[in-house]
């Protein structure tokens, strides 16, 4: 199976790219600034930050880290904030100081935050005040020596800064009380750093750039060690997907709604867009769909990335139809499979097809994607991105025949160095440069990959393998269904049975109506035995529905009945 797509897949893109055209992410950043100094790099809450200003402020932050905090090359710094202008300033400042960035989900519980800070050994953290109370609960039990505190509006103009910070704290009451007496304000750090000398460190390609933690869905969250080589390579590989953005036009604005601390948004929305000289429209709270749509109506955007749930939520907002889509050339879905019903509605509304990207944290993250000239929904994840080899193997590690299902193994410059301080777990997934993804795929005669599901999510009903994605795709086709997730639950008669959890688009939807719909599209053993309607479904920080939470709830309920 190795390299089969390189030899046979028809594409007008280069099949092997120069993924070492930059020495490091710092080199890539500096070259981008030289190419586009006066173009807006980011827009947030109406405030524009040009590439030149981003360079100046990130240099000041790097100088502060070097001179005041005395942080040395290779030490770790945690960033804990949503999509604000402070994030790219802190990110590039940290990288320019030679530090390793540890991205932290601001919604973490104290227990989760304590684990990640201690596991990474982070010496410093930049945190937005909204989540400072969480940090306060654990900071003295972690390796953190320096806290840099920012408020939501701190990079806005004076008047707007004052207003936003007042509203966030006193009107919306989004800042719980906290006490971090030794914290330094982000604005003060930049002010001090501006007066200090920045010394550019020597950064090698194999130096670590990120400890990017996995979601922990298969156990304790682990830090994927991503080097400058890994991430630069994936940015170059992603340009193959983002081909429409490589064409120079006067105004190229891309929506950044997914949080930049997530690997998909970090690689594509933050780093790729920067390399291309694209302006990123930062959406701080994408869960506020009316506010999100209001922001979209102010600009003619050229690109948007998202997950299935985000696309669906936008489509269900009546005002979204009034957005100007005349310049929209690129829509990319990742994180979870985009359902047919959502993909087709998106195209009807925006006249732009959704490209599906597939990846994982351990691969920086992009592994495969559908072609950028795709004209209809295929249900596939397309083909591996350039410079990426694949194998599809059975349980014994033997290559399967074309058309057969097996686990996807990946090799390429984007594959991580391993898990931070976890050699045993690294050895389980990484052998001779091959990364075992844990995802079950098949490659058809068209050489497109179709992800069937993760090994652990497979449902076995009376000896038959059932893949939740297939069930969810069928249920989602019903016009009265908003969102759906399928899980396998223990059954005395069939080993496992299928249960679906559904949120309604139309309150008149009944279980019998949905079962009849499923009978029309699914063979007998694939029809859900149980249907539960809910007001909402549990989701991760990027909007991915969490099957494991529902499965765990169901198993606990069954055990309770048995007890």
Summarised one tens digit per residue, pLDDT across range 92-138 is: 999 999 999 999 989 888 888 999 999 999 999 999 999 999 999 99
User: 478-499: b or e for each residue (b if 16 or more CB lie within 10 Å)?
Assistant: beebbbbbbbbbebeebebbbb
The reported pLDDT for the residue numbered 461 is: 84
The reported pLDDT for the residue numbered 7 is: 42
Domain boundary (367, 386, 405) is at 386
Q: Residue 122 phi/psi, 5° resolution?
A: -60, 135
Can you tell me the distance from the alpha carbon of 249 to that of 326, in angstroms, rounded to the nearest whole number?
14
Q: Please indicate, yes or no, whether residues 376 and 464 belong to a single structural domain of this protein.
A: no
Q: Please indicate, yes or no, whether residues 200 and 286 belong to a single structural domain of this protein.
A: yes
271 pLDDT exceeds 90? yes
* pLDDT confidence band for 493 (50 / 70 / 90): confident
464 pLDDT exceeds 90? no
- Torsion, CA 517, CA 519, CA 520, CA 526, rounded to 10: 110
Helix (H, G, I), strand (E, B) or coil at 497: strand
Contact 19, 28 (CB under 8 A): no
Q: Looking at residue 267, what DSSP letter applies?
A: I
Q: Please indicate, yes or no, whether residues 367 and 475 belong to a single structural domain of this protein.
A: no
The reported pLDDT for the residue numbered 4 is: 41
Q: What does the pLDDT average to over 78-83?
A: 97
The reported pLDDT for the residue numbered 219 is: 53
User: 136-153: b or e for each residue (b if 16 or more CB lie within 10 Å)?
Assistant: bebbeebbbebbbbbbbb
**429 lies in some domain:** no
Can you tell me the distance from the alpha carbon of 288 to that of 335, in angstroms, rounded to the nearest whole number?
20
Pick the more confident residue, 563 or 491.
491
Helix (H, G, I), strand (E, B) or coil at 34: helix
Q: Looking at residue 167, what DSSP letter applies?
A: I
239 pLDDT exceeds 60? yes
- What's 480's domain CATH number? 3.30.300.30
Q: What does the pLDDT average to over 20-32?
A: 97
Can you tell me the distance from the alpha carbon of 317 to that of 320, in angstroms, rounded to the nearest whole number?
6
The reported pLDDT for the residue numbered 13 is: 43
The reported pLDDT for the residue numbered 8 is: 40
Q: Looking at residue 204, what DSSP letter applies?
A: -
Q: Looking at residue 341, what DSSP letter applies?
A: H
Q: Please indicate, yes or no, whether residues 367 and 246 belong to a single structural domain of this protein.
A: yes
Q: Please indicate, yes or no, whether residues 365 and 488 belong to a single structural domain of this protein.
A: no
**432 lies in some domain:** no
Positive or negative: CA dihedral 479, 481, 482, 483: negative
562 pLDDT exceeds 70? no
Domain boundary (386, 403, 434) is at 386
The reported pLDDT for the residue numbered 335 is: 74
Q: What does the pLDDT average to over 459-466?
A: 77
Helix (H, G, I), strand (E, B) or coil at 268: helix
The reported pLDDT for the residue numbered 197 is: 97
Can you tell me the distance from the alpha carbon of 443 to that of 461, in angstroms, rounded to the nearest whole number?
24
Q: Residue 131 phi/psi, 5° resolution?
A: -115, 15
**401 lies in some domain:** no
Q: Please indicate, yes or no, whether residues 90 and 219 belong to a single structural domain of this protein.
A: yes
Q: Please indicate, yes or no, whether residues 371 and 466 belong to a single structural domain of this protein.
A: no
Cis peptide before 353 (omega within 30 of 0): no
Contact 108, 84 (CB under 8 A): no
**215 lies in some domain:** yes
Pick the more confident residue, 351 or 455.
351
**118 lies in some domain:** yes
Instruction: For residue 277, give the H/E element and its range.
Output: none
Q: Please indicate, yes or no, whether residues 381 and 521 belong to a single structural domain of this protein.
A: no
**448 lies in some domain:** no
Pick the more confident residue, 13 or 44.
44
The reported pLDDT for the residue numbered 491 is: 82
**What total of structural domains would you count in the chain?**
2
Average pLDDT, the chain: 91
* pLDDT confidence band for 11 (50 / 70 / 90): very low
* pLDDT confidence band for 6 (50 / 70 / 90): very low
* pLDDT confidence band for 15 (50 / 70 / 90): low
The reported pLDDT for the residue numbered 463 is: 66
Q: For residue 129, give the nearest of 91, 94, 161, 98 by alpha carbon.
A: 161
2 pLDDT exceeds 60? no
Tell me how many degrees the CA angle 237-239-240 measures, rounded to the nearest 5: 75
| pLDDT tens, residue by residue, 389-425 | 999 999 899 999 988 999 999 999 999 999 999 999 9
Domain that holds residue 315: 18-386
Can you tell me the distance from the alpha carbon of 69 to that of 78, in angstroms, rounded to the nearest whole number?
14
Domain boundary (386, 418, 433) is at 386
| pLDDT tens, residue by residue, 380-390 | 898 999 999 99
**420 lies in some domain:** no
Can you tell me the distance from the alpha carbon of 326 to that of 253, in angstroms, rounded to the nearest whole number?
12
Q: Please indicate, yes or no, whether residues 273 and 187 belong to a single structural domain of this protein.
A: yes
Can you tell me the distance from the alpha carbon of 454 to that of 551, in angstroms, rounded to the nearest whole number?
15
User: Above pLDDT 70, what percent of the chain?
Assistant: 94
Q: For residue 37, give the nearest of 274, 372, 240 by alpha carbon.
A: 274
Q: Looking at residue 99, what DSSP letter applies?
A: P
Can you tell me the distance from the alpha carbon of 257 to that of 240, in angstroms, rounded to the nearest whole number?
22
Q: Please indicate, yes or no, whether residues 185 and 67 belong to a single structural domain of this protein.
A: yes
299 pLDDT exceeds 50? yes
502 pLDDT exceeds 60? yes
Q: What order do you get walking across the sheet with 481-491 strand by strand?
A: 481-491, 495-504, 530-533
- What's 122's domain CATH number? 3.40.50.12780
**395 lies in some domain:** no
Q: For residue 189, give the nearest of 154, 151, 160, 148 by alpha carbon.
A: 148
Q: Please indicate, yes or no, whether residues 230 and 361 belong to a single structural domain of this protein.
A: yes
Q: Please indicate, yes or no, whether residues 295 and 160 belong to a single structural domain of this protein.
A: yes
* pLDDT confidence band for 64 (50 / 70 / 90): very high
Q: What does the pLDDT average to over 281-286?
A: 96
| pLDDT tens, residue by residue, 416-460 | 999 999 999 999 999 999 999 988 999 988 888 998 867 767 787
């Amino acid at each position: 199976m190795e390299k089969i797509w390189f030899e046979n897949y028809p594409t007008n893109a280069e099949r092997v790219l120069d993924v070492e055209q930059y020495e490091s992410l710092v080199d890539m950043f500096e070259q981008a600034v030289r190419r586009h100094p006066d173009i807006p790099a980011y827009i947030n809450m109406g405030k524009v930050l040009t590439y030149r200003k981003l360079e100046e402020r990130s240099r000041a932050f790097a100088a502060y880290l070097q001179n005041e905090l005395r942080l040395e090359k290779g030490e770790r710094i945690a960033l804990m904030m949503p999509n604000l202008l402070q994030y790219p300033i802190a990110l590039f400042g940290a990288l320019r100081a030679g530090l390793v960035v540890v991205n932290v989900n601001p919604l973490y519980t104290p227990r989760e935050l304590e684990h990640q800070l201690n596991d990474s050994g982070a010496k410093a953290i930049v945190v937005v005040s909204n989540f400072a109370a969480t940090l306060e609960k654990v900071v003295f039990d972690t390796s953190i020596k320096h806290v840099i505190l920012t408020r939501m509006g701190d990079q806005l103009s004076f008047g707007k800064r004052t207003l936003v910070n007042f509203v966030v704290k006193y009107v919306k009451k989004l800042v719980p009380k906290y006490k971090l007496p030794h914290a330094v304000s982000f604005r003060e750090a930049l002010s001090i750093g501006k007066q200090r000398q920045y010394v550019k460190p020597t950064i090698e390609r194999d130096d670590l750039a990120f400890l990017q933690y996995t979601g922990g869905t298969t156990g304790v969250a682990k830090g994927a060690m991503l080097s400058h080589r890994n991430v630069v390579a994936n940015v170059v590989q992603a340009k193959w997907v983002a081909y429409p953005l490589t064409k120079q036009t006067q105004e190229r604005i891309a929506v950044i709604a997914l949080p930049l601390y997530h690997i998909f948004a970090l690689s594509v929305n933050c780093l790729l867009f920067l390399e291309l000289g694209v302006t990123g429209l930062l959406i701080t709270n994408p869960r506020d769909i009316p506010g999100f749509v209001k922001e979209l109506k102010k600009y003619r955007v050229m690109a948007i990335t998202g997950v299935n749930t985000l696309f669906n939520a936008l489509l269900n907002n009546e005002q979204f139809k009034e957005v100007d889509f005349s310049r929209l050339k690129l829509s990319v879905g990742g994180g979870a499979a985009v359902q047919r019903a959502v993909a087709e509605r998106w195209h009807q509304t925006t006249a732009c097809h959704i490209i599906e990207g597939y990846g994982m944290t351990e691969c920086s993250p992009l592994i495969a994607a559908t072609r950028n000239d795709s004209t209809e929904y295929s249900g596939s994840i397309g083909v591996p991105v350039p410079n990426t080899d694949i194998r599809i193997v059975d349980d014994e590690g033997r290559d399967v025949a074309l058309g057969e299902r097996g686990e996807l193994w990946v090799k390429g410059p984007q594959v991580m160095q391993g898990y931070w301080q976890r050699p045993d777990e690294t050895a389980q997934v990484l052998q001779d440069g091959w990364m075992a993804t844990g995802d079950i795929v098949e490659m058809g005669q068209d050489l497109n990959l179709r992800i069937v599901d993760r090994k652990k999510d497979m449902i076995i009903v009376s000896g038959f393998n059932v893949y939740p994605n297939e069930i969810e795709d069928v249920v989602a086709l019903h016009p009265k269904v908003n969102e759906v997730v399928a899980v396998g639950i223990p059954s005395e008669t069939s080993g496992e049975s299928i249960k679906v959890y559904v949120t309604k688009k139309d309150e008149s939807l009944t279980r019998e109506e949905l079962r009849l719909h499923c009978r029309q599209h699914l063979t007998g053993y694939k029809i859900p035995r149980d249907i539960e309607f809910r007001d909402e479904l549990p989701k991760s920080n990027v909007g991915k529905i969490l099957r494991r939470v529902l499965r765990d709830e169901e198993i606990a309920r069954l055990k309770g009945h048995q007890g």
